[in-house]
């Protein structure tokens, strides 16, 4: 086998292993937290009514991914990527029927064009930061195109 073929195969193997490591790291972030959904929900509710400002990460104003990042960091010590697309890419995907309180719900044209994220709070509702500020609304509101959901933390058993 020629040297450049061996090098190419080695690089492909290293890339594959490093990507698998990234997926494992993301999964361990979700499973290693001992956070409480109650704490996340409480902080999210405390921010209802705050204004929407593109690029804002709190605490006085938020954009959608700034809001989810802020809530998870402050209430659960979970660091999320900065943008809605990056949060979607990093999370462990779950189907709508398997949503749990605290999961993130994503909207856009498709999986490669995510433009909005909200925090699922149960019964088809989410808290999100959008042009009307931080509000509670339906995940299936007609102005959003639901694309998917992601699980980012395992919570202690509690049912707010």
The two tokens of residue 117 are 């994220």
The two tokens of residue 22 are 């990234």
Active-site residue, from 4, 24, 32, 116: 116
Q: What span, in angstroms and rounded, lies between the C-alpha atoms of 84 and 38?
A: 23
Asked about 158 being catalytic, the answer comes back as no
The two tokens of residue 129 are 């930061």
Q: Write out the H or E segment, with its range, that includes residue 15.
A: helix 3-32
Positions of E strands within the chain: 92-94, 104-108, 114-122, 125-130, 133-138, 146-151
Q: What span, in angstroms and rounded, lies between the C-alpha atoms of 142 and 125?
A: 13
Active-site residue, from 128, 151, 156, 160: 128
DSSP assignment letter at 156: B
Active-site residue, from 63, 64, 103, 151: 64
Asked about 64 being catalytic, the answer comes back as yes
Asked about 160 being catalytic, the answer comes back as no
Contact 102, 37 (CB under 8 A): yes
Residues serving a catalytic function are: 64, 116, 128
């Amino acid at each position: 086998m020629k040297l450049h073929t061996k090098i190419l195969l080695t690089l492909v193997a290293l890339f594959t292993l490093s990507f698998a490591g990234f997926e494992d790291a993301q999964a361990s972030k979700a499973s290693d937290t001992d956070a409480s959904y109650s704490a996340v929900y409480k902080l999210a509710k405390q921010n209802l009514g705050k204004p929407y400002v593109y690029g804002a990460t709190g605490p006085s104003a938020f954009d959608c991914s700034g809001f989810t990042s802020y809530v998870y960091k402050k209430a659960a010590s979970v660091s999320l990527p900065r943008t809605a697309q990056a949060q979607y890419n990093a999370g462990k995907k779950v189907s709508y029927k398997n949503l749990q309180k605290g999961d993130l719900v994503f909207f856009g044209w498709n999986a490669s064009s995510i433009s909005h994220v909200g925090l699922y709070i149960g019964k088809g509702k989410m808290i999100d930061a959008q042009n009307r500020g931080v509000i509670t609304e339906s995940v299936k509101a007609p102005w959003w195109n639901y694309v998917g959901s992601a699980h980012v933390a395992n919570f202690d058993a509690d049912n707010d």
